[in-house]
Structure formats: structure tokens, C-alpha cells
């Protein structure tokens, strides 16, 4: 059913979380990771050729994340691109709508806060 695993990248240490989700709405899943320094890194899926997947270069699409505030990717807007939802240290529910651009700082250009009172809430994963 599955072809043998293959190495598609190096240096995948130091990530707090890695998600495999469609970030640009083209169908194939891309890779979104949170680095230990709080950087949100996105890698576009460039496709599979002869059984070999290829990821694009890393784009730094956000910062300020940490082990107690990790984003959960899910399509909030219904456009096929994964958006982010999280809870910050002040108990606010935050949403970041995906602009679909694999460029530094341009994928999640805005953050919306949805009130306090979300302390202690855990997302189902
Ligand atoms: Ca994609």
C-alpha cells in the first residue's frame, strides 16, 4: 500500500509541534511547524514525482508561539486553507485567518482576539 519511506528534509529537530495540513487550499497537505524559538514555519508541498514528495523552502509565517500557546490548524473560513486557533496566556481565544501566501509574515497577517475566559481550555486533537 505504501512505498518505502524517504528522507525529504534535514534539521527537523527542535520543533514543538508539526502539523500536516493544506495551507494553500490546493488539496495536497503541506507542513506547518512550530520551532522552539516560537517561529511558525511553513513548507509547501510541491508534489509527488515518481513516488518522491518534495517540500518547498521554509517560510517563516509567524512568531511568538510557545509550549503553552500552540496553534491548532483548522479551516475556519471554509476556503480550503488551514487557519489557526489558539489560546494565549491571558485566556483569550485567538484566530489567524490564512491568506494563502507562503512568504515570510504574509500567510497569517492578522490576529483576532475573541474575549477572555478561555484559560484551562484544551482543544480536541
Ligand atoms: Ca497544499
Residue 26 Cα, ligand 1 centroid: separation in angstroms? Answer: 5
Distance 81 CA to ligand 1 centre (A): 8
Supply the pLDDT for residue 72: 95
Return the pLDDT at 123: 74
Task: For the chain, list residues with pLDDT below 50.
Answer: none
The pLDDT, as a whole number, for residue 50 is 86
- How far does residue 25's CA lie from ligand 1's centre (Å)? 5
Q: What is the pLDDT of residue 125?
A: 63
Residues with CB under 5 A from ligand 1 (ion): 22, 24, 26, 28, 30
Q: Are 116 and 90 in contact (CB under 8 A)?
A: yes
User: Which pLDDT score is estimated for 16?
Assistant: 94
User: How high is the pLDDT of residue 75?
Assistant: 97
| d(CA 115, ligand 1 centre) in Å | 31
What's the CA-to-centroid distance between 43 and ligand 1, angstroms?
A: 9
CA of 31 to the centre of ligand 1 (A): 9
Amino acid at each position: 500500500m505504501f512505498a518505502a519511506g524517504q528522507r525529504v528534509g534535514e534539521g527537523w529537530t527542535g520543533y514543538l509541534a508539526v502539523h500536516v495540513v493544506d495551507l494553500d487550499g490546493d488539496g495536497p497537505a503541506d507542513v506547518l511547524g512550530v520551532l522552539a524559538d516560537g517561529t511558525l514555519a511553513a513548507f509547501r508541498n510541491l508534489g509527488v514525482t515518481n513516488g518522491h514528495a518534495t517540500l518547498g523552502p521554509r517560510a517563516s509565517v509567524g512568531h511568538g508561539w510557545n509550549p503553552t500557546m500552540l496553534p491548532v490548524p483548522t479551516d475556519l473560513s471554509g476556503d480550503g486553507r488551514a487557519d489557526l486557533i489558539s489560546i494565549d496566556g491571558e485566556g483569550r481565544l485567538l484566530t489567524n485567518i490564512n491568506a494563502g501566501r507562503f512568504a515570510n509574515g504574509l500567510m497569517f497577517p492578522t490576529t483576532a482576539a475573541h474575549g477572555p475566559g478561555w484559560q484551562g481550555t484544551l482543544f480536541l486533537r
